[in-house]
Structure 1
Amino acid sequence: MPSLPKLISRPLIALCAILGLTACSGVPVTHYAQQTPQLDLRQYFTGTLDAYGMFQNRSGEVIKRFHVVINAHWEGDTGTLDEQFTYSDGTTQQRIWTIRKTDKDHYVGTAADVVGEANGTASGNALRWQYVLSLPVDGKVYEVNFDDWMFLMDERIMLNRSAMSKWGFHLGEVTLTFVKR
């Protein structure tokens, strides 16, 4: 007869394997290749944009709402997005992204609170942007995985939905609407 730790560990290993596989599944960004309007980050993120968003915890409760003013410009294949956040509790934050187009469909980005590089792939009207963010919460800083999906609706509006996770566990979502001035 197997020991109790073996009886517990086999189902636990199987569950972890299933969760690991399902975490990697999903719709590839190339699924949107034929969708229009075609997203060109250099064209969309040029000039001044406003973004309106909210953060919801894993149970769906809205924790924070925010407005972002984005001043964006490009020099060749390198773009700068200067984001000025104002949160519903009155706090403010700045994040400056440097984004570089590496080939027809791929981008890398950096910001002071991004761990390493963000990686993005565009296809059709969609962009999938993945990165790790150093997120301050209650006096501590956590490294949180972000999986952003952006969809260009028309020449002025883009929708963004970001799933936040840590160690494979869903923490919440950020929803944004970008409006080009």
Structure 2
Amino acid sequence: MQKYFWQSAALASALTLIAGCSQSISDYTQLTPALKLDRFFLGAGQAYGVMHDWRGQQSVRFVADLCGEWQQGSGDLYEVFYFSDGRVEQRHWQLTQNADGEVRGTAGDVVGEATGQLAGNSLYWQYVLRIPYDGDTLDVTVKDWLHLVDEKNLINRTTLHKFGFKVAELTLSIQQLDANADCSALKQQVAEIAAD
């Protein structure tokens, strides 16, 4: 009986420790500068990223061009990715940012809707991404943390999950280059890649 008690106590302590270590978006409410998508993802930006597989080994690197247009809390974010293995891919996010910090988004390779919450200098959001895999496609759950470092620089840490297991991790830095840039050229490039 005593052995069972100590095993139960050890398990409860471990679960408490694990639960205590998990982060919440509310942890960042007081941090500045405040992240507002319609400010940071406005105009031209550039991102640099590295993907690691489930073993922690670097699998692919990329550079991405970004450009965003916003009007009254709704925005279009255009992205073109240049991968180290020669692939070029695009994504067109259609985003909404509400006054309470709720964020929603859709894109061509996102299944359903992405949902998240802004607080302080951070955004946490989650969605299901459909990716090319071995001649077919694979749906993975994406958990995305974005942290604004200063007005022009943001760090993004992403984990990808399948059947509840982490299968990859992505780290990228994003820099806003010119908030007044015209998105027409990148918008056209996104449309051309999507049509191929």
TM-score (norm 1): 0.85
Taking the aligned partners of 1:157 and 1:117, their CA distance within structure 2 comes to 26
Give the 5 Å matches for 1:21-170.
26-170=22-166
Taking the aligned partners of 1:108 and 1:131, their CA distance within structure 2 comes to 10
Q: SS at 1:30's partner residue? A: helix
Q: SS at 1:153's partner residue? A: strand
CA RMSD of aligned residues (A): 1.7
One-letter amino acid matched to 2:144: D
Q: SS at 2:150's partner residue? A: coil
Q: How many residues align?
A: 161
Taking the aligned partners of 1:137 and 1:55, their CA distance within structure 2 comes to 15
- Provide structure 1 residue ranges, at least 5 long, that are not aligned to the other structure: 1-17
Taking the aligned partners of 1:116 and 1:161, their CA distance within structure 2 comes to 22
Deviation track 1:59-100 (CA, whole Å, cap 9, x = no partner) reads: 111111001100111011111000001000121011000001
Taking the aligned partners of 1:27 and 1:89, their CA distance within structure 2 comes to 34
- Alignment-derived partner of residue 5 in structure 1: none
Q: SS at 2:55's partner residue? A: coil
TM-score (norm 2): 0.79
Taking the aligned partners of 1:153 and 1:102, their CA distance within structure 2 comes to 22
Taking the aligned partners of 2:26 and 2:58, their CA distance within structure 1 comes to 31
One-letter amino acid matched to 1:104: D
Seq. identity, %: 39
- Alignment-derived partner of residue 9 in structure 2: none
Q: Report the Cα offset of residue 152 of structure 1.
A: 0.0
Taking the aligned partners of 1:89 and 1:164, their CA distance within structure 2 comes to 20
- Alignment-derived partner of residue 174 in structure 1: 170
Runs of 4+ in 1 over 6 A off after TM superposition: none
Taking the aligned partners of 2:52 and 2:175, their CA distance within structure 1 comes to 21
Q: Report the Cα offset of residue 103 of structure 1.
A: 3.7
